[in-house]
Amino acid sequence: MNAILKFFEVEARGSSVRREILAGLTTFTTMSYIIVVNPAILKTAGIPAGPSMTATILASVFGCLLMGLYANRPFAIAPYMGENAFIAFTVCLGLGLRWQTALGAIFLAGIGFILLTVLRLRQWLVESIPTSLRYSFAVGIGLFLTFIGLNTTGIVELGVAGAPVKAGALTGAPVLVAIFGFLLISALVIRKIPGALLIGIVITALVAFVTRVAPWPSAFFGAPVSISPIFAQLDIREALSPKSLPIVLVIFIMAFVDTMGTLIGVSARAGFLDENGNLPQIERPMMTDAVSTVLAPLFGTTTTGAFVESATGIEAGGRTGLTAIVVGICFALSAFAAPFVSAIPPQAYGPALIIVGLFMLAPITRIDFTDYTESIPAFAVVSLMCFTYNIAVGITAGFLLYPFCKSLQGKAREIRSGLWVLAALSLMFFVFYPYK
């Protein structure tokens, strides 16, 4: 036990082994939906669902263990939501590329991440981001999580043109169970009960099962499906063709800004940033993200990176890589218990996402709203993250607007060179992004 405490610096970071385990269980519970959702989305691209589920689990296990052992941070790694939909619906279904080519493009983007990280260019770029933008990432991600929670629980539904969102069936059983979960977690948080999020998720899931809002698990254990049909099937040669290179660029920029925004946003909430707003040793979680992104398409799945749901574990007290290790172990066990894990309904984990969204609003007080050159870019980040349902769009808009606003004020010389590079990449993102 002493060796664990020393290796992960548990006591030095004001935590305990019990708290780290609880945090890991909380994070896993809120993001375990990816085990089922990711294969369901990638099936549209032609990737078989059974092997895809195993690939999703393997990529998550490797990423989480590497994050814990190498970076010693409580950030969980798994295939990104958003990037998987981009690959399935835009790249494969819309543009007609084969899923093997799409995986090859992801592999190339991951190689680019590794090179940038080794050369310390990713850290240089991150350190050039203004403080106001860094805190806007946290706020935007918080509202993004809130919307995901509201939508998945049915409290908010998609509407029609002119009124894109509307209230769900608030008197229906599924929504009532979700509201119960929200009130329960709120009460536990107000009473400062340790493990409030996890307790709330588990109790709400049981209520959903008992009330038949969600079916009981069909089974508790089962053998993992082989990934041999999709393992190492990526087509790098086709990904290097003129038709595919713009896709590589968009994947690269999307994953780059998603990971950057998530790391900074979640770290801001956890208190990991130093007095200059930087995350110490950020190159380690970035290298973890880069290596995981290279291996994910080899397994047969899409871009991996730090999950915003890591914020739930941080709220539960997770402060070290031990949290990520616990998440990785849970993913590994889920390979044999996928029917049970996948049975946890959105009515159970959705309320936790809503509460975490509230927690992540706190950094908004650090944004100077009296200076419009700071507040306009920050506002664009927050609003576009939510209203486009795309973290990358919000972040890249901020990278473009900040130098624009500062230049109008005659302060272009104060902008760091790295931010100009990010602005150029952001412009390329909007130019080459396939809007179909």
Q: DSSP labels for 142-173?
A: HHHHHHHHHHHHTSEEEEETTEEEEE--TTSH
Q: What is the Cα–Cα distance from 102 to 248, expressed in whole angstroms?
A: 8
Give this prediction's pTM: 0.73
Q: What is the Cα–Cα distance from 81 to 31, expressed in whole angstroms?
A: 10
Helix 17-31 vs helix 346-359: angle between axes, to the nearest 10 degrees? 120
pLDDT in tens, the chain (436 residues): 777 888 888 888 888 899 999 999 989 988 887 887 788 778 878 998 889 989 999 999 999 999 999 999 999 999 987 678 778 877 887 778 899 999 999 999 999 989 988 888 877 887 788 888 888 887 887 888 788 889 889 999 888 777 888 888 899 999 999 999 999 999 998 987 766 777 888 899 899 999 999 888 877 777 888 899 999 999 999 999 887 877 888 788 777 777 777 887 788 777 787 776 677 787 899 899 899 999 999 999 999 988 878 888 888 889 999 999 999 999 999 888 777 766 778 898 888 888 878 877 878 888 999 999 999 999 999 999 888 877 778 888 999 999 999 999 988 888 999 899 989 988 988 887 766 6
Q: Which helix (H) or strand (E) holds 166?
A: strand 163-167
pLDDT at 65: 97
Structure tokens at 114: 């590794």
Computed on alpha carbons and rounded to an integer, the radius of gyration of the chain in Å comes to: 21
Q: How many CB atoms lie under 10 A from the CB of residue 409?
A: 11
pLDDT at 182: 95
Structure tokens at 241: 């063709």
Q: Number of H helices and number of E strands within the chain?
A: 20, 4
> Which residues is 77 bridged to in the sheet?
306
